[in-house]
Amino acid sequence: EHLAEFDTPGWAPPKAQEWVAGQITRFGNQIVGVVAANDGTGGASVAALKAAGVDPIPPVTGNDAEIAALQLIIAGDQFNTISKPSEIVGAAAANIAFTFLSGGTPEATTTLYDAPSQLFVPAVVTRGNLKEMVIDTGIVSAEQLCTDDFAAYCAELGIE
């Protein structure tokens, strides 16, 4: 059952945390998960759940594969994030800009909402595949991820 939704102004984590805290007061143990639009609001949701003493923390999602979110994932506090192929997307954006500036029409591989588009496949990153998806691919280094507070979790996952 869908309990509530909130479009966090400016995707500001403090606003998301405040809203989730209110939902915990309102719905309590009816909350079975939080779908957050990005990792900042996902982390804020985790903070609100922890502050309220919710245990276990229900699945919380995120998006952007930020280091703080990856650390929450290895600690078992955030369920997943989404990693996008930023090099591929960046190269495509540069190519589109160059094509426009050269007077051409960029190539579209599909149409989305009646607009010519190029779509890219994101990856869902969880505790079970984090090493493979972001460490082994070089998106994030073990040194960035495995700070003192998270070293034991990294060791559990074989991240060195």
- Whether pTM exceeds 0.75: yes
**Are the C-beta atoms of residues 61 and 43 closer than 8 Å to each other?**
no
Q: Give me the residues paired with residue 115 across strands.
A: 112
What is the reported pLDDT for 86? 83
DSSP label at residue 143: H
Which residue type does 69 have?
A
Q: With 90 as the cut, is the pLDDT of residue 132 above it?
A: yes
Residue 95, classed as helix, strand or coil, is: helix
Q: What is the CA radius of gyration of the chain?
A: 19
- What is d(CA 124, CA 144) in angstroms, rounded to the nearest whole number? 20
pLDDT in tens, 95-120: 999 999 999 999 899 999 999 898 98
Q: What is the pLDDT of residue 85?
A: 80
pLDDT of res. 83: 95
Q: Is the model's pLDDT at 47 over the cut of 90? A: yes
Lowest mean pLDDT among 45-54, 86-95, 131-140: 86-95
Range with the lowest mean pLDDT among 14-23, 59-68, 114-123?
114-123
Please give the domain boundaries of the chain with CATH numbers for all domains: 1-84+122-146 (3.40.50.2300), 85-121 (no CATH)
pLDDT given at position 89: 87
Cβ proximity of 60 and 34 under 8 Å: yes
